[in-house]
């Protein structure tokens, strides 16, 4: 029986969700969440601005795709998904994610996959803060842009992940694999009562 949900942060025109639906069909994923500004990348903050020359393609407004309504229709027509299986949240993460009711999300079961494809350090940091109470044992936590910025640990998603892992008491991430040119996938675990992977 379906028992969990998929979340994608940075969905552009919805191709990642369509792909995930096709790959995960028949699995336990009952609900799909997609988050995007639908306006492309946000204005770069100081940190992302300072990293700009290593990743010139990441600039304000790049990756602007269709409207929320167009993307919803694209996803529905390219999958067998029902309308009530798909929640799209429009807005820049910094504004949209703090407004989301975590208890409401948890009514959909467990977070099975978090696909984080939002390019920037600042966006990834906001997403990881949001995910902190949701990542559980076995959650796939997948970063599309880990090896951007020439793989430097001082920029982009890699920096956001390392900062989060050095501070959070809620979850850890076990390395799983690299994928495509720039991606990296982890398997999450909860710190605390399960003790799985906990460091003493
Ligand atoms: C490379 S595209 C995503 C591609 C998509 N996952 C796919 O499979 O086709 C990056 C997306 O991240 C979104 N994005 C990045 N930072 C964001 C933020 N802070 N708030 C909202 N959306 C953001 C952009 O609007 C853009 O659509």
| Tens-place pLDDT, residues 9-59 | 999 999 999 999 999 886 889 999 999 999 999 999 999 999 999 999 999
The CA 123 to ligand 1 mean position distance, Å, reads 9
Residue with CA at minimum distance from ligand 1 atom 12: 10
Q: Is residue 110 part of a domain?
A: yes
Q: Measured in whole angstroms, how far is the alpha carbon of residue 33 from the centre of its chain?
A: 10
Strands 29-36 and 110-116, by their bridges, are unpaired
pLDDT reading at 200 higher than 60: no
Q: Is residue 46 part of a domain?
A: yes
Each as own residue / partner, the long-range contacts of residues 61-66 (CB below 8 Å, 24 or more positions apart, any chain) are 63/10, 63/12, 63/119, 64/38, 64/39, 64/40, 65/12, 65/13, 65/38, 65/40, 66/13, 66/38
Residue with CA at minimum distance from ligand 1 atom 5: 11
Sign of CA pseudo-dihedral 129, 114, 194, 176: negative
Structure tokens at 74: 């694209």
The CA 197 to ligand 1 mean position distance, Å, reads 31
The pLDDT tens digits of the residues spanning 80-111 come to 899 999 999 999 999 999 999 999 999 999 99
The residue segments making up the domain with residue 40 are 4-190
What residues line ligand 1, using a CB cutoff of 6 Å? 10-12, 15-16, 36-37, 40-42, 63, 65, 92-93, 117-120, 123
Instruction: Give phi and psi for 92, each to the nearest 5.
Output: -70, 135
Structure tokens at 144: 């599309």
Q: Is residue 76 part of a domain?
A: yes
The pLDDT tens digits of the residues spanning 187-198 come to 999 998 655 555
The CA 47 to ligand 1 mean position distance, Å, reads 18
Pocket test for ligand 1, best of 7, 9, 10 (most atoms within 8 A of CB): 10
The CATH number given to whatever domain includes residue 127 is 3.40.50.150
Q: Which residues contact 29 (CB under 8 A, 6 or more apart)?
A: 2, 4, 5, 6, 20, 21, 112, 113
Pocket test for ligand 1, best of 6, 34, 36 (most atoms within 8 A of CB): 36
pLDDT of residue 199: 52
pTM, entire model = 0.96
- Do 130 and 161 form a contact (C-beta atoms < 8 A)? no
The pLDDT tens digits of the residues spanning 138-197 come to 999 999 999 999 999 999 999 999 999 999 999 999 999 999 999 999 999 999 865 555
Q: How many domains does the chain have?
A: 1
Q: How far is CA 96 from CA 49, 64, 152, 199, in A?
A: 22, 17, 29, 34
Q: Is residue 94 part of a domain?
A: yes
Q: Is residue 114 part of a domain?
A: yes
């Amino acid at each position: 029986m379906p028992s969990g949900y998929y979340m994608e942060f940075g969905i552009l025109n919805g191709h990642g969700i369509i792909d995930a639906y096709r790959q995960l069909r028949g699995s336990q994923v009952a609900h799909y969440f997609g988050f995007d500004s639908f306006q492309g990348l946000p204005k770069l903050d100081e940190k992302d601005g300072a990293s700009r020359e290593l990743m010139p393609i990441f600039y304000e407004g790049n990756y602007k795709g269709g409207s929320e309504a167009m993307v919803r229709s694209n996803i529905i027509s390219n999958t067998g998904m029902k309308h009530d299986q798909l929640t799209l949240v429009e807005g820049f993460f910094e504004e949209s994610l703090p407004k989301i009711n975590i208890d409401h999300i948890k009514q959909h079961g467990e977070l099975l996959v978090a696909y984080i494809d939002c390019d920037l350090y600042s966006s990834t940091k906001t997403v990881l803060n949001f995910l902190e109470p949701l990542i559980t044992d076995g959650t796939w936590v997948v970063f599309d842009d880990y090896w951007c910025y020439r793989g430097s640990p001082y920029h982009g998603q890699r920096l956001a992940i390392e900062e989060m892992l050095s501070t959070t008491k809620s979850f850890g991430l076990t390395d799983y694999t690299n994928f495509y040119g720039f991606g990296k996938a982890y398997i999450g675990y909860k710190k605390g009562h399960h003790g799985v992977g906990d460091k003493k």
